[in-house]
Amino acid sequence: MQEKIKKWLKKNILSAITIGLTIGFLCFFMLTEDGIKNLRHVLFHLQPFWLMWIAVGVLAGWFLEGYVLHLFCRHLKKDWTLGQSLYVGMVGLFYSALTPFSMGEPMEIFNMTKMGMDTGVATSIIAVKSLVHHAVTFVYSLVLISFELNYFQTRVSNFSFITIFGLITNSIFIFGVLLFMINEKLTNSLLAAIVRFLDKIKMRKLSQKLYNKVHVELLIFHDSSKIIGRANLLYLLAILLTLIQITIASLISYFVYRSFSLKGESVFIMVAADTFVTMVASFIPLPGSSGGAEGGFYLFFREFFQASIIPAITLWRISTFYVNILFGGIIAYFGRKKYKL
């Protein structure tokens, strides 16, 4: 029995650390400003109607995550099914919640290749989808914030620093992915540099195998990216659906607000705040942006929730983070069996 427990811990050590970290952050918030007392009081007064809308928002977000991915997959691989896309989308959400530096995307590529898609094609699809999602979130959050700029500048401490951090990190990511997709010479130069390094440390056989395999995949990657790049209607539909997905995800904070029997605050300001927090926190190098997400929500939403801010953070994180771990893990487990991975 002890051996089984040790094996399980070795396999799931990262998951255990991640869950421990996120619970630690919540406990920290709970132990400040009478968090536990407020949480106990609020839990018995939550409105079931608005809790139902939280569930609807979560399910809609999962579906749109998989469906946008499916649009790109079907464009390059006609026999790809919606079920496969929904499974891969949930795998991405699951591993993004469990691993630092958002390792959900590499796991999506891994699962797509295991289901028969070429590595270069899978990589180009995930790169394009990721680029669309980050670019839409980036632009959308800035547009929304600009309408209520005076409000956030006067109500949110360190707003300028948070904005600069979000602008820099997102701009670097978007520029990097675009450069990698467009500039074939750059990717070949990077591959050549890795090969030269392996040659220098006397690993010539490995360097040749790496070059032969990766070079072919890079050619397929760039060819696939060019095919997607010419599909303007596909991009337009993906951008529109991503916009809807982000809006629904941002509305969850408003549903949390209403579930606490609170009302009177602007839906627009809440959506703007949630979108902005998500954009900035997405580059916190911890699983599920732990710490950054909770801290951002606290700074932007304490004005709305007042004494209930700690329970609000708890319910918001359960709805946007912990359910991804729970249901993502279940779907990943049964999906592996269904698709014989």
Burial 235-244 (b: 16+ CB within 10 A, else e): beebbebbee
Percent of the chain with pLDDT over 70: 75
Q: Which residues contact 331 (CB under 8 A, 6 or more apart)?
A: 87, 90, 91, 94
Sign of the CA dihedral 242, 246, 247, 251? positive
From CA 154, how far away is CA 269, in angstroms rounded?
14
Q: What are 282-316's pLDDT values in tens digits?
A: 777 666 566 678 888 888 998 898 878 888 888 89
Q: What is the DSSP string of 64-125?
A: HHHHHHHHHHHHH-TT--HHHHHHHHHHHHHHHHHSTT-THHHHHHHHHHHTT--HHHHHHH
From CA 32, how far away is CA 42, in angstroms rounded?
16
Average pLDDT of the residues in 29-51? 67
Range scoring the smallest mean pLDDT among 86-90, 106-110, 204-208: 204-208
pTM: 0.82
Helix H or strand E encompassing 175: helix 159-182
From CA 334, how far away is CA 58, in angstroms rounded?
20
From CA 15, how far away is CA 300, in angstroms rounded?
29
8 A C-beta contact, residue 286 and residue 21 = yes
- Lookup: tokens for 307: 């004494």
Instruction: Tell how far CA 39 is from the center of its chain.
Output: 27
pLDDT score for 306: 85
pLDDT score for 171: 84
Average pLDDT of the residues in 198-217? 64
pLDDT score for 68: 96
Percent of the chain with pLDDT over 90: 28
- Max CA distance (Å), the chain: 68
Q: How many CA atoms lie within 13 A of 124 on its CB side?
A: 26
pLDDT score for 228: 78
Average pLDDT of the residues in 148-174? 83
From CA 50, how far away is CA 259, in angstroms rounded?
5
Q: Which residues contact 262 (CB under 8 A, 6 or more apart)?
A: 304, 305, 308
Please give the DSSP secondary-structure letter assigned to residue 203: -
Q: What are phi and psi of 23, to 5 degrees?
A: -65, -35
Say if residue 265's pLDDT is above 60: yes
Q: Which residues contact 59 (CB under 8 A, 6 or more apart)?
A: none
Q: Which residues contact 335 (CB under 8 A, 6 or more apart)?
A: 87, 90, 91, 341
Burial 287-322 (b: 16+ CB within 10 A, else e): bbbbbbbbbbbbbbbbebbeebbbbbbbbbbebbbb
From CA 98, how far away is CA 107, in angstroms rounded?
12
pLDDT band at 50 (very low <50, low <70, confident <90, very high): very high
Residue with tokens 């809440």: 270
8 A C-beta contact, residue 181 and residue 124 = yes
Q: In 10 A of CB 204, how many CB atoms?
A: 12
Say if residue 102's pLDDT is above 80: no
8 A C-beta contact, residue 46 and residue 259 = yes
Q: Is 167 exposed, middle or buried (0-12, 13-18, 19+ CB in 10 A)?
A: middle
pLDDT score for 98: 80
pLDDT score for 207: 63
Say if residue 41's pLDDT is above 60: no
